[in-house]
């Protein structure tokens, strides 16, 4: 069994030249709230001890790898809790044992327009492309490979494009290259040519079982050739708004779960609280929540493990000399245990420090970053919100009511879990709340 990555080792073939920042310019670069860790930057990954990634690994190994029973996982968590980095790390760890196909729908389809037919088609094309690019061919009989590739070429040309105009691959190309070419042509047409996309959607909506069958055939072939089961990882199916996500996951549950390969879907957390979810959750097997990091316990006691974890996240990316202890404390406190918030606040504090000509982040730099966050919340929150926040601060109860969900989406309210799931007011908002209470 592969253990968790530890910082500093090269288990994942990471570039040892990338080191924690030892100047403010590099702090600004490395603490980027828009970029989850991926590739060689996973060197900075910190195992947060949450069961989420461990559970996904275990389910995949026990169910699919050992028993040959593919599983479907819904992976959720609040915006900024670190889902993308956890998924990237998971994919890295799975690659030895699984044929990981990461499907990114966002580069082809706007989340506002994402439909089940897109999910199935894009998964299929991602698998086709990856199977021709990886050395599947080297591990299977040549004639069999040739038949499979020819089948895919025919399928894309005849069934997907049909009579629609598209650029045909050159006759001289080998079959595997033809598949790659046609997938590229499909992705270009599907992303840039709305009328063609609509026509393909209409054609394929009634033929999804045919697409799924192709996927399943190829998944079986890949498994037989490489010994690795296929696992699809969708890292952006949590991006559509609640209504579109409901249509996607509830109205098309049968379609989305029809692959004979394991699938991890990221899942809009708002649906987790949707009353209708209980009717569909069994389609998807396991549901995995990545909670925020607890800085305080339910009863308000300081949670030292959470603080140490946040300190490690900072220490992995920047040398300890780059920040004073007080500034570090202020940033962690203001993050509320939300990893992206900690990353963003640290970057902003580094900007403030460099802007005033300092060599490291000091308390005024952190305070200024926190002050801007506070102003953001002041601008965003309306009078009605404070009453709801005060109630949640008192009872710590999560619910599916729209106001609570709105406050969770806006991060004024944060969700935590330590066995039981509960919520509390963002620490920066708590200050505002206390000021407004009589």
Q: Scanning the structure block, which residue is given the tokens 């989305």?
A: 256
Reading the block at residue 319, the tokens are 């040398």
Half-sphere exposure of 389 (CA within 13 A, CB side): 28
Query: Cβ 146 to another protein, closest distance in Å?
Result: 34
Q: Does 18 bind another protein (CB under 8 A)?
A: yes
Q: Does 356 bind another protein (CB under 8 A)?
A: yes
Among 25, 158, 174, 276, binds another protein (CB under 8 A): 25
127 three-class SS:
helix
Instruction: For residue 99, give Cα distances in angstroms to 52, 182, 211, 227.
Output: 21, 21, 19, 9
Helix pair angle (175-192, 142-154), 10° resolution: 30
Q: Does 210 bind another protein (CB under 8 A)?
A: no
Query: Cβ 32 to another protein, closest distance in Å?
Result: 6
Query: Cβ 95 to another protein, closest distance in Å?
Result: 21
- The mark string for 381-410 relative to another protein (x by CB under 8 A, - otherwise) is ----------------------------xx
Helix pair angle (363-380, 325-335), 10° resolution: 20
Q: Does 271 bind another protein (CB under 8 A)?
A: no
> Cα separation of 26 and 20, whole Å?
8
Query: Cβ 42 to another protein, closest distance in Å?
Result: 13
Query: Cβ 417 to another protein, closest distance in Å?
Result: 20
* Residue nearer to another protein on the CB measure, 210 or 372: 372
Q: Scanning the structure block, which residue is given the tokens 């079982």?
A: 209
Q: Shortest CA distance to 83 belongs to which of 275, 294, 357, 266? A: 266
Q: Shortest CA distance to 62 belongs to which of 290, 291, 285, 289? A: 285
DSSP state of 3: P
Restricting to residues 72-91, name those near another protein by CB under 8 A. Answer: 79-80
Q: Does 241 bind another protein (CB under 8 A)?
A: yes
Q: How many residues bind another protein (CB under 8 A)?
A: 52
> Cα separation of 43 and 9, whole Å?
8
> Cα separation of 145 and 151, whole Å?
10
- The mark string for 365-384 relative to another protein (x by CB under 8 A, - otherwise) is ----x--x--xxx-xx----
Q: Does 337 bind another protein (CB under 8 A)?
A: no
Query: Cβ 104 to another protein, closest distance in Å?
Result: 9
Backbone φ, ψ for residue 21 (5° rounding) = -65, 135
Among 107, 321, 383, 394, binds another protein (CB under 8 A): 107
- The mark string for 31-50 relative to another protein (x by CB under 8 A, - otherwise) is -xxxx----x----------
Positions that interact with another protein (CB under 8 A): 15, 17-26, 28-30, 32-35, 40, 79-80, 106-107, 110-112, 165, 195, 236, 239-241, 340-341, 344, 347-348, 351-352, 354-356, 369, 372, 375-377, 379-380, 409-411
């Amino acid at each position: 069994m592969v253990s968790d990555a530890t910082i500093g080792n090269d288990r994942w073939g990471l570039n040892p030249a990338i080191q924690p920042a030892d100047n403010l310019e590099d702090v600004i670069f490395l603490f980027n709230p828009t970029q989850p860790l991926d590739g060689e930057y996973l060197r900075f990954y910190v195992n947060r001890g949450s069961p989420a990634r461990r559970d996904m690994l275990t389910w995949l190994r026990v169910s699919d790898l050992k028993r040959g029973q593919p599983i479907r996982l819904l992976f959720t968590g609040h915006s900024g809790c670190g889902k993308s980095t956890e998924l990237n790390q998971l994919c890295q760890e799975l690659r030895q044992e699984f044929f990981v196909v990461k499907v990114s729908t966002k580069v082809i389809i706007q989340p506002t327009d994402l439909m089940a037919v897109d999910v199935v088609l894009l998964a299929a094309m991602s698998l086709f492309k990856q199977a021709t690019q990886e050395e599947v061919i080297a591990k299977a009989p040549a004639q069999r490979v040739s038949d499979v590739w020819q089948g895919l070429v025919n399928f894309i040309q005849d069934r997907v494009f049909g009579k629609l105009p598209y650029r045909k691959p050159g006759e001289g190309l080998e079959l595997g290259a033809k598949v790659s070419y046609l997938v590229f042509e499909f992705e270009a047409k599907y992303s840039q040519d709305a009328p063609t996309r609509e026509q393909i959607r209409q054609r394929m909506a009634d033929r999804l079982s045919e697409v799924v069958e192709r996927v399943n055939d190829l998944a079986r072939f890949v498994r037989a050739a490489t010994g690795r089961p296929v696992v699809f990882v969708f890292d952006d199916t949590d991006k559509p708004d609640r209504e579109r996500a409901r249509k996607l996951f509830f109205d098309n549950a049968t379609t989305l779960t029809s692959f004979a390969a394991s699938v991890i879907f990221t899942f809009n957390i708002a649906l987790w609280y949707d009353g209708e979810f209980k009717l569909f959750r069994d389609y998807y097997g396991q549901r995995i929540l990545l909670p925020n990091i607890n800085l305080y316990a339910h009863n308000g006691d300081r949670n030292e493990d959470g603080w140490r974890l946040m300190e490690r996240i900072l220490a992995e990316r920047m040398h300890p000399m780059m920040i004073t202890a007080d500034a570090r404390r202020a940033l962690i406190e203001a993050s509320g245990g939300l990893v992206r918030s900690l990353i963003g606040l640290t970057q902003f504090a580094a900007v403030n420090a460099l802007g005033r000509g300092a060599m490291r982040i000091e308390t005024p730099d952190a305070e200024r970053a926190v002050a801007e966050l506070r102003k953001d919340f002041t601008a965003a929150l309306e009078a009605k919100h404070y009453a709801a926040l005060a109630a949640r601060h008192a009872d710590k109860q999560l619910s599916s009511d729209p106001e609570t969900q709105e406050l969770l989406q806006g991060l004024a309210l944060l969700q935590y879990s330590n066995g039981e799931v509960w919520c509390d007011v963002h620490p920066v908002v708590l200050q505002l709340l206390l000021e407004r209470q009589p």
